[in-house]
Structure formats: C-alpha cells, structure tokens
Structure 1
Amino acid sequence: MLLSKVASPVLRVVLILAAMVSASPAPAAAAGADSSARPRLPEPWRPWTQEEWTAPAGRYCTFPLRVQVVSQDVRVRVVDRYSDGAVRREEFTGPLVVDFVDVSTGRMTRRDAGGSGAADYRPDGGWLRYTIVGPAGFGFRAGDHYPQGYYLLDGLHVITFDAAGTRRMAVAVGKQDNVCQTLAGPA
C-alpha cells in the first residue's frame, strides 16, 4: 500500500483525505433542471454550539463524565444533500476547548478538542460515518467494536456506524487518549 511507504504521518493524513474527497459523490445537476430547486453546495458556514453534557456512569467511563465547554467558535456547513433535501454530509471546524470532569471526584483535565470533522448520514438521518482530523472527542460504549471509553482523538480517525448504531473505529492514524483512564489516574 502506498501509505506504508510514506514517511510523514502528516502526508499520510493529506493523502487519505484527498482519497476520501475524490471518492465522495459529487452532486450532479439533471439536464434542464431548475438550479434554484436545490441549494448550491457546499452551503455557507454557520455557527454551531457544542452543548455541555453529562454521560451516566457506565456509558463511557465507570464514573459519570461531564464535558464542560471553556471556549468555542465552531462552524458547520452542509456539503451534500440527498435528492429529498435531507443532509447527506456536514463538515465541522473551529476552535473548541473543553474540561472533561469525573463528576464523582471532581477531577478534571482541560483539552483542545477543536479539530475538524465530516459527518455522513444515512437517508433516515442516522449516522453512517464520522471522519475526524483531530483533536476531537468521541465516545465508545459497551458493545461497540472498540474499547469502551471517551477518547480525545488526534490525527485522522474514521468511525463507522452500522444500521443499529454500533460504532467501529475503521481508521486510526494518530493518538487515541481515553480520558476515562486519564481522569481515573494511576491504578
């Protein structure tokens, strides 16, 4: 495989992203179709807000995990739609700093989670794939095809979702820091 012969991890990420973009379906206009019927793609960037949240003990970590936003300026845009107008792919980018908190002890770690990502959706709106050029956070639950935890992913990571919502780490180039382990401290 070509990527194994490339020395630079950054160059590998660029090559993988270029391959993904070239493999993406390009919207095609039907002959004689009214161009006003479908918006021009990609659509303009718009602000997006990362909400604070708490996951109960057992979802990602053995303790309740809280994510508190310290600062953000995240944007999102639609880059592809299905013929019925439903979103097929969105891109996210922008600075995001969060505190990961073990609710039971108050122990916390502050992290940069302001990478970029592309979310691909099924026609029914369910997730199909999430591509991250990190750093960015993502959680895996019991029953997913990756060790349970909430991870700060840095580098190129692709998470796929089957029809039932089970998650799988399909591509992992870079670091995977399980913040559950970081917050739990030394064993």
Structure 2
Amino acid sequence: MLRRLVTALLTTAVLLAAGTTVAPTPAGAFPRHQPEPWRTWVQEEWTAPAGQYCTFPLQVRVVSQDVRVRVVDRYADGAVRREEFAGPLVVDFVNGDTGRAARRDAGGSGAADYRPDGTWRRYTIVGPAGFGFRPGDHHPRGYYLLDGLHVITFDADGTRRLAVAVGDQENVCLALGDAPDQG
C-alpha cells in the first residue's frame, strides 16, 4: 500500500514538473491535455550483442506481461510528445554464452518524452523497469533494473545520461556473471 502511494505521488510530481503545453485541438481529435485511451503494448523478446550492455550477448525473454500504453500529449502536427507505460512485466535476463538466467519483475511505470522528430528526449521510470547503457553513454555500461525514481535523458546524438537516480540500480550483467565495468 505504501509503495503504491509513493509511486503515485512520484509519478504525479514528475509529470507535473515536466510540464505540458496545451494548444488548440482540431475537431474530432483527442484534446492534447487529455490522455488518450490505454491500449495493449507488447514487450518483444530481444538479444543485445556482446559488448552493447554486457560482455556477453544479453537475451531478454518475457515470462508474463500485461503492459499498457497511452499517449498523454501530442505536438501540433499530431506526433507523439509523451506517452505513459504501465503494467505487470516479468522477464528472464539470460547470458547468451552460458545460459545463466535471472528472473526479474520489470513491471513499473514510465513516461517517454519525444522530440518532434520522434527521437527520445527523456524517459522517466518509477520502477522496477529495465534500461540499458552502452559504451559512450554517461553512465557505466550495463543493463539495469531500476527501482524507484530514475530519469534518463538523451542528447541529440542519442547519448544517454542518468539525470535522476533515487532508488536501487541493479546491473543484471553482473548478476549473470559479467565482471564490473572498469571504464
């Protein structure tokens, strides 16, 4: 109960702090200040090559999910400015070389903010949720399970930064047998 209350308060604070500009909406369109209806979102299974997040190929296998997404703000041309994600998600992180696996709850909530060209500007997580940092990002390389409040910002060139970190950060690469990154 306390976790739900803290999550709700943190999510509200983040969304209010981020601010949203309201503009006129064409007839028949969703008002930009009103969230659109929730719809199902499917987390696909994926494999990252060795060196991207971990020294080994990292696989993500979905165990169970019921994730939803909705658009909460659009640019004047209709492009998505912000969407919210929420719902249960359980995944197995797998070391592609050894088969060693670690099951994790990644069913937190998040808000993705996009630039007008569709590239990511910011991703706010009220975890648990997974997120990866690559070589060249402004955070140690790894694929992290972030629990608590975390905000990732994206430079125009796609470089990622962990701008806000309140809570736990588990690098699942380490849990699967990777050595700590020395870079």
Using structure 1 for the length normalisation, give the TM-score: 0.87
Aligned to 2:20: 25
Gaps of 5+ in 1: 1-7
CA distances 1:121-149 after superposition (whole Å, capped 9, x unpaired): 00000000000000000000000000000
SS at match of 1:21: helix
Decide which structure has the larger Cα Rg and report it: 1
1:35 deviates by 3.5
The answer as to 2:68 corresponding to 1:80 is no
CA distances 1:52-107 after superposition (whole Å, capped 9, x unpaired): 00000000000000000000000000000000000000000000000000010000
1:60 pairs, out of 53, 57, 74, with 53
Q: Which runs of 4+ in 1 moved over 3 A?
A: 8-19
Identical positions, percent = 70
Q: 1:185 to 1:164 in 2, by over 3 A?
A: closer
1:181 pairs, out of 146, 150, 174, with 174
The 5 A counterparts of 1:98-177 are: 98-177=91-170
1:19 deviates by 3.5
Aligned-CA RMSD value: 2.2
- What CA distance in whole angstroms lies between the structure 1 residues aligned with 2:3 and 2:70? 27
Aligned length: 176
Q: 1:13 to 1:71 in 2, by over 3 A?
A: closer
Q: 1:47 to 1:16 in 2, by over 3 A?
A: closer
Aligned to 2:44: 51
